Chain A
Amino acid sequence: MSYIKPTFRHPSSTKNEAGFYRADYEGKISTLCAGCGHDSINASIVAACYEMNIEPHKVVKLSGIGCSSKAPAYYLDNSHGFNTVHGRMPSVATGANMANKDLTYLGVSGDGDSASIGIGQFVHVSRRNLNMVYIMMNNGCYGLTKGQDSATADVGSLSKSGSTNQFSPIDMVGLALELGATFVARSFSGDKTQLVPLIKAAMSHPGFAFIDVISPCVTFNNNKGSTKSYDFVRDHIEATSEFDFVPVKEEIAVEYAAGSQKTVTLHDGSHIQLSKLNPDWDPTDRSSALDKLQKAKTAGEILTGLLYIDPESDDLHSMLRTTDTPLNELSQDVLCPGSKILEEVNAGLR
């Protein structure tokens, strides 16, 4: 057996502003099937965290159950991690986030984990606008159990075993838009030039940032007739715009003709730059995003890119007015102020 990742990296690799090499954001060598789309998403997460100068110990990676949900073993080895019960990643993320708002919460899930067993959790985490990145690795099948159709499989998509899916798919992007998610995007594992900046923008967004990433299952759903295969996705992909994420310190480099671009400024001062903009669509207008999504679906296109962002997003913490200080940094006196304070509180409610 010879399956060991060498420790050597390219000699030109440098530390980022936080003082870490890209290798510091990597994980164990992947045991997913060779060619799995998830590995490209893992690599994109590594690239995004490295480029965002996030300290690895300030990230929490969370997942549920499934191929997608074992992926956190393959990135961010130096970060916190929680592999939760099937479909229950949002609950754990909510609890962790409530306890400590200083960390970046990065959840990954699959289409089975999110759209079937965990759909209730997904619905509520969306509407609560929990400050987290939620990446759904979407391959349209249950890869871990040999490729049965999942709830995101398109009508008419042919499985590897030869059966055609008859049930209408759940479009998780449409659902998130309906539920009031404040950052909604779709991407493709085979398009890192789009996916990496999307993840970076999602991490900068204060609120629930959902990215549906189509990620072909190379073993069970990459056959002819499948609508989640590498070839099909490449043939039907339609980007809303060219997308770039511009961190706080950098100047916006490229200027496009008026009307064909839009710049969205995020809370932290960074920018999202959308160029070659689709004319009938405004990324800050929820209904135009829904409209655009429906039109693409009718045309048989897979619409990718940032679909909707609410630049005024208020996350769950600000809505609930919870403490800015992480619970683990509060002393016992503050956390348990004693019976005298309790009496005062009770008195105030009488």
Chain B
Amino acid sequence: MKPTNIKDPEYFHKVVDCQYACPAHTPVPEYIRLIANKKYTEAYMVNWESNVFPGILGRTCDRPCEPACRRGRLEGEEGPEEPVAICRLKRVAADNRGEVKHLMPTIPEEKNGKKIALIGGGPASLTVARDLAPLGYELHLYDEWHKGGGMMRTQIPSFRLPEKVLDEEVNYITDMGVHTHYNHYVESMREILEADYDAVFVGTGAPNGRDLKLPGREEADKNVHIGINFLASVAFEHKDKIGKKVIILGGGNTAMDCCRTSRRLGGEEVTVVVRSPFKDMKASPWEIEDAQREDIPILNNMPPKSFVVEDGQLKGMWFGHVRAEYDENGKRKLIPTGEEDTFIEADDVIIAIGQDNAFPWIERDLGIEFGKWDVPVIDDVTFQSTLPKVFFGGDAAFGPENIITAAAHGHQAAISIDHYCQGIDVNARLAPTTNLVKQKMGIHEWMYDSPVVDDERFVVPHEDQAISLKDRKIEVELGFDLPTGFKEAQRCLNCDIQTVFSYDQCIECDACVDVCPTSCITFTTNGDEEDLRGRLSAPANNLDQPLYVSEELPTKRVMIKDEDVCLHCGLCAERCPTAAWDMQKYLYGVTKATKIL
């Protein structure tokens, strides 16, 4: 193999698994260390710079970082380790932060003369606004509801995300001099384009909940609800009651929110029914757990067949029984088992089987090209549509994702809009900022807590269920208290403290090989990657994780480090007589339209 080019910003970035997996590339270990140091405000700002909604995401994020967490690849005494509770630590930072407004950018009184329309008041549009407002853009935000926040307000129930938390973080942005046009549903893109906007950003989400055409659907209509519409009408207090027996169709996070909301609106026998196997459910495991904890059974392998209506009143639904079979490509087929159909009684049924983009308000003759499935054709780097002044982001760009993805899109779209308005090529993107800093303080002393703790993941305490089920506005999760937050923060392996190897200082004494607790380091003759992976100190079978290969050493061997389960404990550097190994902190930052920190 060729020597690893550690100057490539992406090499060490990939070693920081959590940050790499985060769509917005939030520097996770950096803010976790700040939490451990009780610097909650600073930890909040590191988040805010990157993901814009730390308090909201600390409660609701889909957490792509956690499955990526290196800790999850370790084996403890009691079996596999669980990842660090990254998401809930973010909440610790948000809940305990001090005053932050003075740390946010000041908005110039004098504007730069460019006017931007932001359609939809959700996370994508708000992120664009946050990034562009400090540059002097005049921003006009349109939303059909009376407050901003988009799906964060309409689709996430208050027992998961209190309104106060949401309002605060939405207001940080709208207070930056953004002109809000609430209660204003944009009906025509043509009208917007005919107004004097220099650029338009579309962040309208995926607003169409899918329906299910089954026998009896129309007759049952008054008791059949579409998941996201149901959640929105509850959020805006148009709906505060539901029948005692409720069926939720679907296995995603919306279904979980619907069933738990139903429990709070009078649903006593709430059942979730999914047509496929339990393990294929799209909902996050923790959301499934939370639903089950509220006595909501989840029945699987039961496709719905029909609605039963008697005397104009919904009585229940029939379900078939299937089992899943997978072909060699992993493609699933649901095969009827032949068991008798099951009838489940219901007063109300909520259909939460997915949602789609919809752009009925965009005329098709404006130069905005629509592709397959009637979604706009968008550049996946610049987020520009085929009409140069129109940009898309969030769910509106590539279909339903999540808040953190919307924020990531927003940052990139903001750069594109800025470039477009300033006459710079939108494809000219700046490289990320990187910083590699030595951590040595003295003998056995580093600037980070290098010892690896054995603690298992701490559980976030919950409100007493008797209380939380009574009122949909009472938050179920209570968040870590500070001592527990500290202990959970200490579980972080500090993967951003990189092991940097200087081949020209190495005397090949093997001290690092001998001390490495997880056998990551090998000195051997070079070979191709497949060959090398098989003959290291420990097999390097995780192909997602790179091998760090040095230049050739005096004995014609090379140093090879398998990054997979490196604990970043610093012992290789500690035991290195010549400082050929060094621990250096790598800070990777996605370049934004406005530099915040």
Contacts and interface: CB of A to CB of B under 8 A. Distances in A.
B517 A9 contact: yes
Interface string A181-203: 00000000110100000000000
Contacts of A3: 444, 574
Interface in A218-238: 218-219, 222, 230-231, 234
A35 B74 contact: no
Contact of B454 (A7, A36, A231): A7
Contacts of A29: 515, 571
B510 A190 contact: yes
Interface in B235-273: none
Given A8-B75, A10-B518, A230 B508 contact: yes
B316 interface: no
Contacts of A35: 507, 509, 511, 575-578
B571 A8 contact: no
Contact of A234 (B511, B539, B555): B555
A10 B446 CA distance: 24
Contacts of A30: 514-515, 575
Given A35-B578, A39-B511, A43-B510, A2 B517 contact: no
A2 B446 contact: yes
A8 B567 contact: yes
Contacts of A155: none
Contacts of A219: 577
A230 B77 CA distance: 38
Interface string A28-40: 0110011111011
| Secondary structure type dominating chain A contacts | loop
A249 interface: no
A42 interface: yes
B129 interface: no
Given A11-B75, A11-B565, A35-B575, A6 B444 contact: no
A19 to B, nearest CB: 16
B445 A190 contact: no
A43 B77 CA distance: 23
A8 B518 contact: yes
A2 to B, nearest CB: 4
A2 B511 contact: no
Interface string A119-130: 000000000000
Interface in B531-553: 538-539, 541
A10 B451 contact: no
A37 B538 CA distance: 22
Given A11-B74, A40-B514, A6 B576 contact: no
Given A33-B577, A35-B509, A39-B575, A2 B514 contact: no
B570 A34 contact: no
A301 to B, nearest CB: 17
Given A30-B515, A40-B510, A190-B510, A2 B450 contact: yes
Interface residues of B, number: 41
A298 interface: no
Interface in B137-173: none
A13 interface: yes
A8 B452 contact: yes
B449 interface: yes
Nearest to B74: A8
A39 B515 contact: yes
B513 to A, nearest CB: 7
A157 B567 CA distance: 41
B180 interface: no
B76 interface: yes
Given A3-B444, A13-B538, A8 B509 contact: no
A33 B509 CA distance: 12
Contact of A12 (B452, B510, B541, B555): B541
Interface in B433-463: 444-446, 449-452, 454
Interface in B473-525: 507-511, 513-515, 517-520
A43 to B, nearest CB: 4
A336 interface: no
A216 B577 CA distance: 12
A2 B76 contact: no
A3 B451 CA distance: 7
Contact of A7 (B77, B446, B449, B539): B77
Max count, chain B CB within 10 A of own CB: residue among A3, A36, A189: A3
Contacts of A7: 76-77, 452, 454, 517
A4 interface: yes
A281 to B, nearest CB: 25
Nearest to B80: A11
A37 B510 CA distance: 8
B115 interface: no
A2 B555 CA distance: 32
A321 interface: no
A113 to B, nearest CB: 22
B569 interface: yes
A340 interface: no
A5 interface: yes
A213 to B, nearest CB: 13
A334 interface: no
A6 B539 contact: no
Contacts of B77: 7
A1 interface: yes
B315 interface: no
A9 B574 CA distance: 18
B114 interface: no
A33 B578 CA distance: 11
Given A1-B444, A34-B577, A192 B510 contact: yes
B39 interface: no
A189 to B, nearest CB: 8
B73 A11 contact: yes
Nearest to A46: B514
A216 B509 contact: yes
A272 to B, nearest CB: 23
A142 B567 CA distance: 35
Contacts of B73: 11
B517 A6 contact: yes
A1 B445 contact: yes
Contacts of B446: 2
Contacts of A9: 75, 517-519
A72 B76 CA distance: 27
A10 B445 CA distance: 25
26 contacts: A1-B444, A1-B445, A2-B444, A5-B571, A6-B451, A7-B76, A8-B75, A9-B75, A9-B517, A9-B518, A10-B538, A11-B73, A29-B571, A30-B575, A34-B575, A34-B577, A35-B507, A35-B578, A36-B511, A39-B511, A40-B510, A40-B514, A189-B510, A216-B509, A218-B507, A230-B507
Given A6-B518, A40-B510, A216-B509, 9 more contacts: A2-B444, A2-B570, A5-B517, A6-B569, A7-B454, A8-B518, A11-B75, A34-B574, A218-B509
Interface of A: 1-13, 29-30, 33-37, 39-40, 42-43, 189-190, 192, 216, 218-219, 222, 230-231, 234
